[in-house]
Copies of this chain bind each other. A is one copy, B any other.
Amino acid sequence: MITTEQVLDALKKVMDPEIHRNIVELGMVREAQVNGTDVKVTIALTVPNCPLQDTIAKDAAQAVDTLADGLNVEIALTAMTEEEKQRLTDMLRREHRQEPAVSLAGQMNKVKSVIAVMSGKGGVGKSTAAALLAAGLRRKGLRVGVLDADITGPSIPKIFGVHEAPLMGPLGIVPPLSRGGVKIMSINLMLQAEDDAVIWRGPLITSAIKQFWNDVFWGDLDVLVVDLPPGTSDAALTVMQNLPVNGAVIVTSPQDLADMVVRKAANMAEKLSIPIIGIIENMSYAICPHCGERFEIFGHGHVEEMAQSFDTQFLGSLALDPDLAKVCDAGQIEAYENLDFDEIVELIQPRIA
């Protein structure tokens, strides 16, 4: 016969994979009942349908199972009440000796590397490149998040097919996961309708981006990809001045007009001492679906010269692929295969700490 105490002791070996503390200590084990060989454990998750619930349930079942042979272990999952969440928040705050005004998430996040994807100019495929980069790094087993810093024109949620509103957990805002396991945060997840306009002046844009960094519980990430809006104003400045950006990936298109505006963004990165990891030329050519011929739809680009003048790497050229537009519109970016982009990911990965 085993005791409830033994069950709780066993559960102390089960760690919350993001908070890095055991679930008993965190107050997540709401009940443990032992009835002969029947053991029922009720675990209260920090947020309902927490993306890690299966891991936690499996680990808990396994931990109890090892106590004796022939046990019949049942793990029931539920969500913490507001009081339980508050108790957990208070405990963690006490341990981190934090004022309530300081964000717990900000202090507990462990983001190893921050990569900003920027172009200065809109419509060159910057968000698509950011999404492909995040998806590519995720496929390589990295823990990846995407912070959509384009507050007035956010497209990351749509490209990843993520639509649920983020939940408030005891540590901060919990970013929803994409199908492939990328953590996503964007203002569009918080709007009633996806086409609602966010008519905000700079200070509000700035505070939203700061909140996405400080108050979102990103947990452990190998890399956070930041999708910057066009322009060199508040959003770009806030990201470059307030986030520990390790490097910028610049996206351009072959038109001279784009070249000029994209150079502005690269000049900004240089001025703010953000290393430029490299430059991607998007929409370099199209392939006619009828005759299969390649043609340069925006003229011939000068991206290699641009890379040279900024003393950085030319990461590669991408076609203007109608299929890409389709997968973006369908929220299926993670299912898109592109050998050219895979090579770009290979070049960028070593630059991620």
Contacts and interface: CB of A to CB of B under 8 A. Distances in A.
Contact of A257 (B121, B124, B159): B159
Given A121-B153, A260-B155, A328-B255, A289 B299 contact: no
Interface in A221-261: 229-234, 236-237, 253, 255-258, 260-261
Contact of A197 (B123, B159, B232, B258): B232
A325 interface: yes
Name the interface size band of chain A: 35 or more
A159 B261 CA distance: 13
A229 B233 CA distance: 12
A261 B155 contact: yes
Contacts of A320: 297
Given A202-B203, A233-B200, A298-B325, A155 B195 contact: no
Contacts of A272: 199
Interface stretch (A93-101, A108-116, A132-140, A262-270): A262-270
Contacts of A194: 260
A230 B153 CA distance: 8
A153 B265 CA distance: 9
7 contacts: A154-B261, A197-B232, A200-B233, A229-B230, A288-B295, A290-B291, A297-B325
B197 A155 contact: no
Contact of A231 (B231, B265, B298, B329): B231
A108 B253 CA distance: 42
Please report whether the interface of chain A is mostly helix, strand, loop or mixed according to DSSP: loop
A234 B299 contact: no
A271 B197 contact: yes
Nearest to A255: B325
B230 A230 contact: yes
A311 to B, nearest CB: 15
Given A201-B233, A202-B203, A237-B201, A196 B264 contact: yes
A253 B322 CA distance: 13
A267 B202 CA distance: 19
Given A264-B197, A291-B288, A233 B202 contact: yes
Contacts of A258: 123
